[in-house]
Amino acid sequence: MPTPPLAGGAAGPAHLRPLIDTVLTALHDGATRRNGPLPAGGPGTVTHNLHRTTGPLIPNHGTGAHHALRTLVTALTEGAADPAHPHCTAHLHTPPLALAAAADLAASALNPSMDSWDQAPAASALEAALTTALAAEIYPHTPHPDALITTGGTESNQLALLLARERHGPVQTICAANAHHSITRAAWLLGLPRPVVIPAPTGVMDPTALHDALTRHHGPLLVTATAGTTDTGQIDPLTDIADLTTTHHAELHIDAAYGGPLLFSPTHRHALRSLHRAHSVTLDLHKLGWQPASAGILAVPSHHDLTPLHHHAPYLNADDDTDAGLPDLLGRSLRTTRRPDALKIAVTLQALGRDGLADLIDRTINTAHHLADLIDNDPGLELYDRPTITTVLFRPTHTDDTTLATTRRTLLDQGHAVLGRARADNRLWFKATLLNPHTTPDDLQQLLTLVTHAHDNATMEGSTSR
């Protein structure tokens, strides 16, 4: 067998072009075979079909590039949960823009490693420009804001707690019951006290409960607020929280992984008022930014806030190299090898501009409100609340939690719809997290029809079994 060609270099594109054609055909064929948002049959069927199609993954003799690509990409696509399908709405799982995926291909072919300048000359400069620009969106009034590119909200939140610990020692974190699970996990990983969890009776942090917690606890305190919860998409009262942290001399971190991109929408950015008052902010562009995962951000008001992350490894950032002007990249992450995720983000922002990104955000939020209207106008369905961002909770009227959960799994098993689940007001709800700007009113009506039909069948089967 000849030595396989490489993706890089002047000859790389010629080697890639026929392989990409095979991949694109396989993506099309797999999606056509699936013919829906999810493969039908459940985990057992999907696993069986995948193994049957792919055969041994480490054969004694290779099958060749085109056969392997065609087989595995087709199988993976046929068995995928496709966020580009309008009935795939369970999670903050975005359908990536084609241009962002194309940029990601270039990043893979070039393969810069973002841990030293001599592995990523232009990529490191691009990342520095992008992170400075994104930090300025969050902190427009500070002279030298900065940001890091992360794998997502979990890593960003961990870094936020780490930086607070390095500033003040073993900080006590205070969060609400609506906070992302990564806050508690980060405290555990960093050896910090278990977070104080205060109530969120209406789905957002209760300022009165926060005032009481800040009064009771002493020493270094870090309040973590949420701008876009995973269950309901609600945004904590950021101004009230910022005022309280200022009064009690506590620090503030805002997890805006979901809601942060609202900054780009003149229509909706008011929901993030006081975001700039936080000591650190998490933002994910692989949610309401339509990037392939991963594309997380941690922003801080000053580049000096990132000094504790400095790390020395002579083969990557020798002192004399740094003194001679080679950028030191090790302090830009706790990871060593990193992909140049800045490229796809920069391509998207430059291609769409502020108005283009705002249009996508506004369009998707309007779609969520249209779904809420359809639910409100259907006597057989109950709406939890108007959407804050793009998350809509609903349930059939007069149902019970067991039937609702069964209905959701039935839709998954049939491959008809991918809906999430969330508990609010001590009841279980279907969760539709709308992130597809191409979703139409007809798509939404069809989704509700599928839900109603599956629920009616589940109700009848439950009555028969009793």
For residues 18-36, b (16+ Cβ closer than 10 Å) or e, as one string?
Answer: eeeebbeebeeebbeebeb
Cα 4 from chain centroid (whole Å): 35
For residues 283 and 358, what is the distance between their CA atoms, to the nearest angstrom?
A: 16
Q: Do 86 and 440 form a contact (C-beta atoms < 8 A)?
A: yes
Q: Which residues neighbour 181 within 8 Å (Cβ) at sequence distance 6 or greater?
A: none
Residues counted in the chain: 466
Q: Do 166 and 319 form a contact (C-beta atoms < 8 A)?
A: no
For residues 228-267, b (16+ Cβ closer than 10 Å) or e, as one string?
Answer: bbbbbbbbbbbebbbebbeebebbbbbbbbbbbbbbbbee
Cα 148 from chain centroid (whole Å): 16
pLDDT value, residue 51: 95
Q: Do 318 and 116 form a contact (C-beta atoms < 8 A)?
A: no
Q: Do 82 and 94 form a contact (C-beta atoms < 8 A)?
A: no
For residues 415 and 408, what is the distance between their CA atoms, to the nearest angstrom?
A: 11
In tens digits, what is the pLDDT along the chain, a chain of 466 residues? 789 999 999 999 999 999 999 999 999 999 999 999 999 999 999 999 999 999 999 999 999 999 999 999 999 999 999 999 999 999 999 999 999 999 999 999 999 999 999 999 999 999 999 999 999 999 999 999 999 999 999 999 999 999 999 999 999 999 999 999 999 999 999 999 999 999 999 999 999 999 999 999 999 999 999 999 999 999 999 999 999 999 999 999 999 999 999 999 999 999 999 999 999 999 999 999 999 999 999 999 999 999 999 999 999 999 999 999 999 999 999 999 999 999 999 999 999 999 999 999 999 999 999 999 999 999 999 999 999 999 999 999 999 999 999 999 999 999 999 999 999 999 999 999 999 999 999 999 999 999 999 999 988 877 666 5
Q: Do 161 and 172 form a contact (C-beta atoms < 8 A)?
A: no
Nearest to 358 by CA among 250, 222, 225, 267: 267
Residue 305 buriedness (CB in 10 A; 0-12 / 13-18 / 19+): buried
Positive or negative, the CA dihedral 338, 344, 349, 350 is: positive
Whether residue 294 has a cis bond before it, omega within 30° of 0: yes
Q: Do 408 and 422 form a contact (C-beta atoms < 8 A)?
A: no
Return the structure tokens found at 316.
């990557």
For residues 374-400, b (16+ Cβ closer than 10 Å) or e, as one string?
Answer: bbeebeebbbbbebbbbbbbbbbeebe
Helix (H) or strand (E) run with residue 423 in it: strand 420-424
